C-alpha cells in the first residue's frame, strides 16, 4: 500500500465514503480484515488499512480518497511502492465476484500516467 493519510487530516470522512475497498477507518476505530478485528492504526486521524488498499487500481484512474480529500492529505508513500499487478491482484482477492475490465487509463493511475507521457 503506497497511500497514506498524513497528520494534516481534518477527519471529514470524505475519503472513507469514496473508498471502493472499505480500506479507510476513522482514527481510534478498530477495523476488520479476513474475519478478524484489529486495533486502530491511528488514534487521531483517519487511516488506510494496507492490506485493503489497491490505490483504486481496477476501479478508477485515480485514487478516490485523494480525489475526495479537501485537505490533500491522502498521498502516496514514496517509501512503500507497489506494482500495478500486485494492487490488481489484491483488488481481485477483495472482490472475488467482480469482473475487472482490462486495465486502462480509466481503471489504473499507472496507465493514466503512462498515457500522459506518451502524448
Residue 30's nearest CA partner among 21, 18, 22, 38 is 38
pLDDT tens digits, one per residue of 24-60 = 999 999 999 999 999 999 999 999 999 999 999 888 8
Could you list the residue range(s) of the whole structural domain that residue 15 is in? 3-118
Handedness of CA 58, 31, 81, 19 (dihedral sign): positive
Give me the pLDDT at residue 50, please.
92
Give me the pLDDT at residue 119, please.
43
Average pLDDT over residues 1-18: 93
Least confident window among 11-20, 68-77, 79-88, 97-106:
97-106
CATH of residue 41? 3.30.70.20
Q: Is the pLDDT of residue 106 over 90?
A: no
42 by Cβ neighbours in 10 Å (0-12 / 13-18 / 19+) ranks as middle
Give how many domains the chain has, as a whole number.
1
Alpha-carbon gap, residue 81 to 27, rounded angstroms: 24
Alpha-carbon gap, residue 68 to 63, rounded angstroms: 9
Local confidence band at 114 (pLDDT 50, 70, 90 cut-offs): low
Alpha-carbon gap, residue 7 to 30, rounded angstroms: 19
Q: Is the pLDDT of residue 118 over 50?
A: no
Prediction pTM value: 0.85
Amino acid at each position: 500500500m503506497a497511500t497514506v493519510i498524513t497528520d494534516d487530516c481534518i477527519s471529514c470522512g470524505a475519503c472513507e465514503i469514496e473508498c471502493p475497498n472499505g480500506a479507510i477507518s476513522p482514527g481510534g476505530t478498530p477495523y476488520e480484515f479476513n474475519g478478524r478485528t484489529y486495533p486502530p492504526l491511528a488514534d487521531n486521524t483517519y487511516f488506510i488499512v494496507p492490506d485493503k488498499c489497491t490505490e483504486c487500481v481496477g476501479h478508477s484512474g485515480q485514487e478516490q480518497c485523494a480525489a475526495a480529500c479537501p485537505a490533500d492529505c491522502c498521498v502516496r508513500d514514496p517509501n512503500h511502492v507497489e506494482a500495478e499487478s500486485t494492487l490488481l491482484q489484491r483488488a481481485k482477492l477483495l472482490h472475488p465476484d467482480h469482473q475487472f475490465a482490462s486495465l486502462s487509463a480509466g481503471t489504473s493511475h499507472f496507465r493514466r500516467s503512462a498515457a500522459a507521457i506518451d502524448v
